[in-house]
A and B are shown apart, each in its own frame.
Chain A
Amino acid sequence: MPGDIEESTDGCPVTGRTLVAPPAIVAELRLGLLDGYLRSVADELSAIVDELENDLGSGDMPCLSGKRVRLRTMTLAVETRLTLYETVGFPGQPLTEKILDGRATCALAVGVLTSQRDTYVARLAQNKVPERERRQALDTVRLLSEFLRTASSAANQSPRNAYGC
């Protein structure tokens, strides 16, 4: 699938503009968006709101420019998340292959899946997982790692990779 690849200016890998997510990856994206990533939104937003309350309650005329910038950045992130969310669908909806379009959406998907994989790995490392669940988790880690490797390679090397641009 031809497309554009953008190189980052800071030397970090940049995800391309299109990713093709097979159904199993779509399922993990749905879970990840509603679990770890939702928690991170809640924590970050809560921190900003606490700081805003302290500033506004201090009595002086506060300067809120820093929080304004953070909130604006966060809103862009929430919008990107919403786009990805609308694309992959809700839990319970039929699972089909999805095309993730746009550089920010692809980068977010890679972030969500990386976080999902790390969560599974951490759970497996605890050695308290029942055997059947353990096997499933191992399969999922393999699947996620393979997808992330291919996506990263597509972004950095070949614009014609099946998963990349």
Chain B
Amino acid sequence: MAASPAPSPLIVPPEIVTELRKALLKDLKDVSSAITDLVQEPNLQRRASRYRELAVRFVIRQQLQEAAGWPDDPPPDTQLMIRGHESHALVIECLTAHRDAHHAVRAFEDMSEKDPPERRGSVEWPQRSEHQQMPDRLLALENFLAANAPQASGSAPG
């Protein structure tokens, strides 16, 4: 099978790079959980092929994190150019998940305003300061995803 042509580079503007730094760390957490779960997989062939997928993802994620920087780095002032199918796809996937998580937090907070604290249960509560900065960041993310991954835009609730 012939390889599909490489996509044009994905240009990530500085304000999205800031979000990408956090989104990649969330992906690290997901990969870590998936590897921990994988240890329990009894079928060695399934364990092998899944581990290979996760290891490749782990390595690409790290390369992207090195390029985008970390949340404790100074704010980015230049755009990032992402090349390659897998890197491109991972950036879109992480940012989409990050956007959806923002939507979930907003929905949660909207619900909380109607629900007194004593009825909130044991669910971990999002930090208010995060939420207050959300609309601008969310709008930027939505615009970026709409321009670069139309299939991923508008799928989240809210």
Chain A positions near chain B (C-beta within 8 angstroms) = 30-31, 34, 38-39, 41-42, 45-46, 48-49, 52-53, 56, 59, 61-65, 68, 71-72, 75, 78-79, 81-82, 85-86, 90-92
Complex contact A75–B48 (CB within 8 A): no
Report, nearest first, the 4 A-B pairs whose CB atoms are least far apart.
A75-B62, A91-B44, A90-B48, A45-B32
A-B contacts, 27 listed (Cβ < 8 Å): A31-B44, A34-B44, A38-B35, A38-B38, A39-B39, A42-B38, A45-B28, A45-B36, A46-B32, A49-B32, A52-B25, A56-B25, A59-B127, A61-B72, A63-B72, A64-B70, A72-B62, A72-B66, A75-B58, A75-B62, A78-B59, A85-B48, A86-B52, A90-B48, A91-B44, A91-B45, A92-B45
Contacts of B58 in A (CB 8 A): 75, 78
> What's the nearest-Cβ distance from chain B to residue A59, in Å?
8
Given A64-B70, A72-B62, list of 8 further CB < 8 A pairs?
A: A38-B47, A42-B39, A49-B32, A62-B72, A78-B58, A79-B59, A91-B45, A91-B48
Contacts of B39 in A (CB 8 A): 38-39, 42
Chain B, range 56-95, C-beta contacts under 8 Å to A: 56, 58-59, 62, 65-66, 70-72
In the complex, A45→B70 CA distance in Å? 17
In the complex, A75→B66 CA distance in Å? 11
Q: Which among B28, B49, B52 is the interface contact of A49 at CB below 8 angstroms?
A: B28
Give the number of chain B interface residues (Cβ < 8 Å): 27
Dominant secondary structure at the B interface = helix
In the complex, A16→B51 CA distance in Å? 27
Contacts of A48 in B (CB 8 A): 32
Q: Which among B51, B59, B71 is the interface contact of A38 at CB below 8 angstroms?
A: B51
Q: Assuming A79-B59, A82-B55, A82-B56, is B35 touching A53 (CB within 8 A)?
A: no
Complex contact A64–B32 (CB within 8 A): no
Q: Which among A41, A61, A71 is the interface contact of B35 at CB below 8 angstroms?
A: A41
Interface residue B131 (Cβ < 8 Å from any Cβ of A)? no
> What's the nearest-Cβ distance from chain B to residue A140, in Å?
16
Q: Assuming A41-B35, A90-B48, is B29 touching A53 (CB within 8 A)?
A: yes
Q: Assuming A71-B62, A75-B58, A75-B62, is B45 touching A45 (CB within 8 A)?
A: no
In the complex, A30→B62 CA distance in Å? 25
Q: Assuming A39-B39, A79-B59, A82-B56, is B48 touching A34 (CB within 8 A)?
A: yes
In the complex, A38→B49 CA distance in Å? 13
Contacts of B59 in A (CB 8 A): 75, 78-79, 82
Q: Which residue of B lies closest to A92 (CB)?
A: B45
Complex contact A34–B51 (CB within 8 A): yes
Contacts of A68 in B (CB 8 A): 70
Q: Assuming A56-B71, A82-B55, is B48 touching A46 (CB within 8 A)?
A: no
